[in-house]
Structure 1
C-alpha cells in the first residue's frame, strides 16, 4: 500500500472514530454529563490507556479540565485508574463494555434520583402529617394536605421500582429478562 493510500486509510479511520466520539459526547450530554467529558470518554474508549498529558494533547483541553472530566467519569465508574509499566504517571482507561457502562452510569444516577426524592417525600409527609393532625387547621386546608400527602405516597412506588430496577441491573438479572443479542449471529 502506498503512503498516500495509507494516509487516506488512516484519515478514514480517524473520521469514523470522530463520528462515534461525537455521538457518545452528544448522548452523554443528554444525561447530564458535559460534552467535554463525553468527548473525553469517547476518545478514551478507542485508546488502551491514557495519561492526563496524552488526553490534553489529543483533545486540546487544559490539564485542570482533564482532571475534572476524568474525576467525573471515575465517579460514574466508567473510567478507571490504571498503571502503565515503566512510568510513574497516572494512566486511565475507559470502560469498553457498553453493558457495564450502562449498569455503572445509570445505576448511580437512578439511585441518586430515588434517594433525593424519597428523602424529600419523607420530610414533606412529616410536615403534612402534623398539619393533618392539627385540630386548629381549617377543613379545606386539611383536605388539601390529605390529597397532597396521598399524591406523594403514590409517587413512592415509582422510586421503589427504580431501586428494584437498579438492583436487577447490578445483579445481572435484567440481562436474563432482556437478553443481550450477539450481533455477529444476526
Structure 2
C-alpha cells in the first residue's frame, strides 16, 4: 500500500478534480489523474480506492476511460496478479490532442451545416452564426497546430533531446 498523501498532494489531487469538473468531465477522472501524477510508484485500483476513499467500481470505469484517451496507462506493479496504473508520460500532449479533436469536430460541424443550409433564406441567422463558428474554430485549429509544433520542440528540450 502506498503511503498516505501529504496535505499538498491531497490539495493537488482535489484541484485536478475541480479542473476536470470545470471542463465538464467527471471529477473522479481529475482526482485519478492528479493522484497518479503525485505518486512515485504505480497504483492498483485498490490503492486508488483507498487513497481517494472511493468505491473501486467507479474508479475502474474512470481508469478505463482515461486509459482509452491516453492519460493513464497500465504498467507492471508489485503484485503480478493485479493491474497497476501510472500517469501516461505524454498525458498533457494526449489531453491536448483530445481537445484539438473537439476543435476540429466543431469546425467540421459548422462546415457541414453551412453546406446543408446554404441558399435558404429561412436559415439566414443560423448561417451567420455558423460562418462565425467556422471562422473561430478554423483560427483556433491553426493556433493548436502551431502549439503542437512548439510543444514538440519544448518537450525535446526538456527531455534532453533538443
Smaller-chain TM-score bracket: 0.7 to 0.9
User: Which residue, out of 30, 35, 45, partners 1:38?
Assistant: 30
2:8 is aligned to 16
1:135 is aligned to none
Q: Structure 2, unaligned stretches of length 5 or more?
A: none
Q: Hey, what's the Cα distance between the residues in 1 that align with 2:12 and 2:129?
A: 43
Q: Structure 1, unaligned stretches of length 5 or more?
A: 1-9, 132-141
Q: Hey, what's the Cα distance between the residues in 1 that align with 2:81 and 2:91?
A: 27
User: Which residue, out of 80, 89, 103, partners 2:82?
Assistant: 89
> How high is the TM-score relative to the length of structure 1?
0.66
SS at match of 2:82: coil
Q: Report the structure number with the largest CA radius of gyration.
A: 1
Which shows bigger deviation, 117-126 or 35-44? 117-126
CA offsets, 1:13-42, max 9 Å, x none? 711211211212111211122222211221
CA RMSD of aligned residues (A): 3.0
CA offsets, 1:117-165, max 9 Å, x none? 233323322332253xxxxxxxxxx3x6456435423432322233333
> How high is the TM-score relative to the length of structure 2?
0.75
Q: CA deviation at 1:174?
A: 4.4
Check the 8 A contact 1:111/1:166 in 2, yes or no.
no
Q: Hey, what's the Cα distance between the residues in 1 that align with 2:123 and 2:79?
A: 66
Aligned structure 1 segments of 4 or more residues deviating by more than 4 angstroms = none
Check the 8 A contact 2:43/2:77 in 1, yes or no.
no
Q: Hey, what's the Cα distance between the residues in 2 that align with 1:86 and 1:56?
A: 17
